[in-house]
Every structure is written in C-alpha cells, then in structure tokens.
Amino acid sequence: MKKRNVILSGLVLAGGSLYASEDTKSYVKGNHLKALEAVGIEAKAKDLRVMKTITDDNGKKWVFNEFTKSTKLIEAMEEKYEEDVAGAFISVQDEIMQAHAKPSDSIPTIVLDEALKEGYFAFSRKDGETLSFKIKYDNGSWEYELEK
C-alpha cells in the first residue's frame, strides 16, 4: 500500500477553554470520555490510548482513537485491506468536520469496531452538547449519519 500524507482542511478545534486549562491532558481525556458516553460506551481515562481496545456494556469491542493521532489507525486500515478504506475514511472525517465543526469544539473521538469498518466519530461543543456520527464503510465509501 502506498503511504499518504494526511491533511485535513477546516480543522477548527480546541478553542479557548482547552488553553485555559492547567491540565490539558485531563481536559482532553474528559472530552473523550464525554463523547464515548454519548455513543453508549463507558470507559476510564486510563484506557484512552491510541489503538486501545475498549469494551462497551454489551461486550462489543471498539478500537479507540483520537482525531489528531489517527496515523496508526490509517496505517492499520492500509495494512488490513486491499481496497482504499483508509483514503475514504480520511474523506469522511473531513466531510463531517467541514459540515459540522465550529471553533472551540473538542478534538474528535473515533471508535471503530475491530474490523475497522464501522463506529462513531464524536466531539463536544463548548456549551456541553455532544455531536456523534454513526459511520460505516460500504461499497468503497464511508457513510455517516448524525445521531439524535
């Protein structure tokens, strides 16, 4: 597989309150925990590491990732599949961010099933609202739907 440089335009994240926080790692992990809770996954801060598997209450396993650290996730997709799952994944992330992100939104949380073809992309707003998008790979592209 060919390597690709990942450049996502329109990334307007982590505004004022992140920089005002004395402990940015705790702040970022707190936002990830909130996003995971919004999609029905309870986790502990110590479990939030790139490519770490977490399990929901129903026993389903999810691969955790953070938007700004998704290189290993992209590489895993490229190694696992002949088809361009990774390139399409980069595109759907960009599409979601272009359409829905606002200044001061948190860094997005990504959780995918073990097959790396279905999961959630979520981030929180400054006002406390969390937007979560169900994402799924099918027939060469990733589709997404905003969950209510």
* Annotated domain spans of the chain: 16-146
Distance CA 78, CA 84 (A): 7
> Which alpha helices (H) appear in the chain, and where do they start and end?
16-20, 24-38, 71-80, 85-100
Distance CA 132, CA 77 (A): 22
Predicted local confidence at residue 54, as pLDDT: 94
Local structure of residue 147 (DSSP, 8 states): -
Lookup: tokens for 129: 């609202």
pLDDT tier at 47, thresholds 50, 70, 90: confident
Global pTM value? 0.82
What value does the mean pLDDT take over residues 62-80?
A: 95
pLDDT tier at 19, thresholds 50, 70, 90: very low
- Judge whether 113 and 119 are in contact, CB under 8 Å: yes
Place of tokens 């307007």: 12
For residue 104, count other CB atoms closer than 10 A to its CB. 16
Predicted local confidence at residue 22, as pLDDT: 53
Which residues, including other chains, have CB under 8 Å from residue 115's CB and lie 6 or more apart? none
- Judge whether 111 and 41 are in contact, CB under 8 Å: yes
Among the residue ranges 22-26, 41-45, 141-145, the one predicted with the least confidence is 22-26
Which residues, including other chains, have CB under 8 Å from residue 39's CB and lie 6 or more apart? 111, 120, 122, 132, 147
